[in-house]
Amino acid sequence: MLLSIFICSCSGETKTHTVKTPKLALTASGPLFQGSNTATATWNYELKELFPNVKEEIEIKSARVSSIQVMPIKEADYPQLGKMVVEMKSPNTKMTRIGLLDADLDVSETNNLSIADVQEDLEETFADEKIIFVGDIDMKDEQFYDDLRFDLVVTFEIETNM
């Protein structure tokens, strides 16, 4: 009994970090047609590099997306676009919806998406050191014969051991 209380109190020592991805290339390969088109961006990273001050083996205690920004690329051509949904997954975890742009995608400035209240099992996804972000973009134009490209930056609040 005493032992279990001791372990619990030690495991209570955690630290919360804000982690921002680099600008990731979010790309849907053309030709594209009216309706929902799938764009993907992959982020490979090492937990050791993200959390150099964690002395012991890194444990992700909790993970939550706090911000999603989708930025147009200067001088790129864009068709007329509608709403956008963003999901994420790692190779070993299920795809989870994390954000929604409940307006037409603006191709002249940064788009800030609203964040899902319910974000399940992101700890395991983040611990996998590889995340695939999936953007479903509604295209209003009939067709577009180029690739569709945006920069994507996602910010996480990550709680680790000390």
Partner 1 sequence: MKNIFLIIAITLFSYASTAQDADAIIGVWEPSHGKAKVKIEKIGEKYYGKIVWLKEKIDPETGERKVDKNNPDESMRNVPLLGYRILKDFEHVGDGTWENGTIYDPENGKTYSCVINMKDENTLDIRGYVGVKTFGRTDTWKRLVIKNKK
Q: Which residues make Cβ contacts (< 8 Å) with residue 57, sequence separation at least 6?
A: none
Coil, helix or strand at residue 124: helix
Rounded to the nearest 10°, the torsion over CA 28, 31, 32, 38 is -30
Residues 80-139 that bind partner 1 (CB under 8 A): 82-83, 85, 87, 89, 91, 94-95, 97, 100, 102, 114-118, 132, 134, 136, 138
Check binding of 29 to partner 1 (CB under 8 A): no
Cα within 13 Å of Cα(116), Cβ side: 16
CB-nearer residue toward partner 1: 51 or 82: 82
Give the count of residues interacting with partner 1 (CB under 8 A). Answer: 24
What is the contact surface with partner 1 in residues (CB under 8 A)? 35-36, 38, 40, 82-83, 85, 87, 89, 91, 94-95, 97, 100, 102, 114-118, 132, 134, 136, 138
